[in-house]
Amino acid sequence: MQGKKNLAAGFLFLGGLIYGFVLICLRDFAPGKEQWIAEYGLGKHFESRLAHVHGNLFAFINIVAGYLLLKLPVGEFAAKGISWLTLFGLLMPIGIMMEVLFGLPPAMVMAGGISIVAAMVWFGFAALKLEIKAMSNYGMRSSNA
C-alpha cells in the first residue's frame, strides 16, 4: 500500500507555512524593514519566498498523490516509484533553503525538480492505463475522454 508516506510527509512539510508567517513579520515588523522591503525581489529574499512557495506546493502534491495512490488501483511497481519520486521532489525547496543559508550548489534543487516532474508524468501514464470499470468502483465518473 503506497501513499501513506506521501500523506504524512505532505502534512508535516506544510509546517513550513510557519516560515511564510516569519517572512511576513520580517517584511512588516522587523527593524530595518525598509531595507528588507527594498530587497524583497532580489537575492536571498526572493529565494526564501521560492522555497516557501515550492515547499507548500510540493507538500500539497504529496498529499494529493498519496491519497490517490491509496485509492486508485495503480500497479505496485508504478505506485512505489511514483511515491518515492514525489517524496524526492521535496528536495527542491530544501535545496533552495540550503542555497540561501549555506551557499550550497543547486544540486538538490535540480534533483527535486526532476523528481517531481518525473513522478507526475509517470502518474499521468499510470492513470491512462487504469480500467474505466475499476475507476467507477472508487466513486469516479467513467469517461473515455
The pLDDT value recorded for residue 137 is 59
Q: What is the pLDDT of residue 62?
A: 98
Could you give the CA distance from residue 113 to residue 15 in angstroms, rounded to a whole number?
Answer: 20
Helices 43-71, 91-102: crossing angle, 10 deg rounding: 160
What is each CA distance from 74 to 28, 70, 71, 126, in whole angstroms?
47, 9, 9, 7
Whether the CB-CB separation of 59 and 11 falls below 8 Å is answered with: yes
- Predicted TM-score of the model (pTM): 0.83
pLDDT of residue 134: 47
Encoded amino acid at 35, one letter: Q
Q: Are 37 and 46 in contact (CB under 8 A)?
A: no
Q: Which residues contact 105 (CB under 8 A, 6 or more apart)?
A: 99
Q: Whole-angstrom distance between the N-terminal and C-terminal Cα of the chain? A: 28
Tell me how crowded residue 116 is: count the other CB atoms within 10 A of its CB: 24
Mean pLDDT of the chain: 87
d(C-alpha 7, C-alpha 9), whole Å: 6
Q: What's the residue count for the chain?
A: 145
Q: d(Cα 61, Cα 66) in Å, to the nearest integer? A: 8
The whole-number average pLDDT for the span 1-27 is 87
Q: Where are the domains of the chain?
A: 4-136
The pLDDT value recorded for residue 135 is 52
Does residue 11 have a pLDDT over 90? yes
Task: Look at residue 42 and tell me whether its pLDDT is greater than 80.
Answer: no
What does the pLDDT average to over 95-118?
Answer: 96
